[in-house]
Amino acid sequence: MAKKLWEGRFSEKTAQIVEAFTASIDVDRRLYAYDIDGSIAHCKMLARAAIISDDDAAALIQGLAQIKLEIESGNFQFDDSLEDIHMHIESRLVEIAGPVAQKLHTARSRNDQVALDVRMFLRDATRRIIQSLVELQTVFVTMARDNLDIVMPGYTHLQRAQPVLLSHHLMAYYEMFARDVERFESCHKRINVMPLGSAALAGTTYPIDRNHTAKLLGFPVVSANSIDSVSDRDFILEFLSAASICMVHFSRLSEELILWSTAEFGFIELPDSFTTGSSIMPQKKNPDVSELVRGKSGRVFGDLMALLTLMKALPLAYNRDMQEDKTLLFDAVDVISACIDIHIQMLPKIKFDEQSLRQAATTGFSNATDMADYLVGKGMAFRKAHHCVGKAVGFALNQKKELHELDLAELQTFSKLIQEDIFGFLTPDQMIERRLSMGGTASKRVKAAIKKAEARLVKQLQRYEFGFAEVKK
C-alpha cells in the first residue's frame, strides 16, 4: 500500500472503512489534467524563483507528463488509500522521479491546489457551455427566419390569447438563452481567478511569484486573500445558479414541445430519432427527450440547493465538507451540457403544422382585444370598449360562433360604431401586422429582431472561436 503524504504525525494506520469513506478519487480523478497542468506551472515558478533547481524542475515536469500519458492510456493505478487525485499524482511522481518529487509540493497545500483545479475545470466548462448556448441561439434564429409566415396562437394562463408569429415565439427563447450567455460570461470572470500560492490558508514563507504562475495558467487575476482563496466556493454557487436559471428555460421549452406534440394541440411533429415508443401500445410516440430535460432541471436545482446547504455556516477556512462540491458541480455541468447539445440537434428536425397553428390562432376569441381597439379607434373609451366586446363574446359563445363569424347586424347590437371594415380588422394577419410597438410581433419587428440577432451571433461566434480575450497571450 502506498504511503500517505501526511502520515508522519500518526501512530496508527487509517482504518480501511475510513479510507473508503473519505476517498474522493472516484469523483476528482476527472481533474487530473488540470492538476498536472497546475503542478507544471507551479514547478516552473519554483525554478524561476530559485526555490528548486532547473534540473529538478525538468525532472518533475517530465514525470508529470508521463503520469498524464499513463492516465489517458488507462495504465494508471488508482487506490482509495491515496484519497484524491492530488495524492495519486504526487505518489506516482515519487515512484518515477525519486526523492526530487517531494519538492513539488513546496509552497502549496492541497487546499489551494484543489481550488485551482476546480477553477480551471469550471473555466473550461463555462466556456464550452457559452459556446454551445450561442450555437443553440443560432438554431432558434435560423428556425425563426425559416418560419416567418407561420401564424400561431399566443397564450396566457395556457389559454389562447392573441395571434403571434411563430418566429416571434421562437425569438423569445433566443432572448432567454441570450441572458443565460450573459450570466455565464459574468460568472466566468469570477471563476477565472488564480488561488494557487495561498497554501493551506495563510500564504507561504517562500519567495513565490503568484503573478508568474497566473500568467502560465492564463489567469488574468490573482486572488487577494489567502483565507478566502481556499474557502471560497461562491464561484461554483454562482455557476450553479446560472445553470439552474438556464435549466428553467429548457424546462419551459420542454413543456411546450410536449404539449405541442400531443393530438390535442397538434402543432408539431417531433423527429422519430428523438422520440421513443411504448412497450405495450404500438401507436405511441413519446417525447421522452423533452420529458427527461424537464426532469433533469430538478437535478440541477438540487445541485445548487445542496451546495448552498453545504456551505451554510462553514467557518473559515477549508473544511472537509467542501469535498462534496465536485460531485454537485460535475453533475450540473454534465446535465446542462447534454441538454444544450441535444436541443441543437433536435430542434431543426421538428416539423411545424402550419394549418393547425393558424386554425388555432383564429379560434378562442383571440381577436377580442383587437375589436376593442377598433372601437377605441372610433372614439370609444377603452374600458367601455372592453365591456362592449365582453358582451359580444358572451353572445357569440351562446351562438357557438367566433366574433368574426357574427354578421354586421349582430355586431351592431353591441355598438353602432361597428361598420363593415371590422371584418378586415379581425383577421390574424392584420392583428399581427398592427403590433408594431418595439418588441412586438409584427413581421417588420420580428425581421429586424432576427437581423440584429444574426449580427450579434456572428460577433459572438468569432469571439469564442478565437478564445476569451482575457486568456490571450
Phi, psi of 156 (to 5 degrees): -135, 140
Report how far residue 294's alpha carbon sits from residue 356's, in angstroms, rounded to the nearest whole number.
Answer: 25
276 has which bridge partners? 286
* Sign of the torsion angle spanned by Cα atoms 145, 348, 158, 294: negative
Element of type H or E holding 447: helix 443-465
Q: Nearest 5 degrees, angle CA 136-CA 124-CA 198? A: 150
Determine contact, residues 393/403, Cβ cutoff 8 Å.
yes
Residues 6 or more apart whose Cβ sits within 8 Å of residue 221:
192, 193, 194, 214
* Sign of the torsion angle spanned by Cα atoms 16, 315, 239, 127: negative
Residue whose C-alpha cell is 507551479:
42
Burial class (CB in 10 A: 0-12, 13-18, 19+), 21: exposed
Active site residue 226: no
- List the one residue out of 231, 34, 215 whose CA is nearest residue 121: 34
154 has which bridge partners? 162
Kindly state the DSSP code that residue 80 receives in the 8-state scheme.
G
Determine contact, residues 457/145, Cβ cutoff 8 Å.
no
Q: Nearest 5 degrees, angle CA 259-CA 264-CA 268? A: 55
Report how far residue 262's alpha carbon sits from residue 72's, in angstroms, rounded to the nearest whole number.
Answer: 46
Active site residue 168: no
164 has which bridge partners? 152
Cell of 16: 480501511
The β-bridge relationship of strands 268-269 and 159-165 is unpaired
Report how far residue 84's alpha carbon sits from residue 322's, in angstroms, rounded to the nearest whole number.
Answer: 13
The β-bridge relationship of strands 159-165 and 151-156 is antiparallel
Burial class (CB in 10 A: 0-12, 13-18, 19+), 29: middle
Phi, psi of 104 (to 5 degrees): -60, -35
Beta strands in 339-400 (DSSP E): 351-352
List the catalytic residue out of 157, 273, 279, 437.
Answer: 157
Report how far residue 401's alpha carbon sits from residue 388's, in angstroms, rounded to the nearest whole number.
Answer: 17
Q: How many residues does the chain have?
A: 473
Q: Which residues participate in catalysis according to the annotation?
A: 157, 278
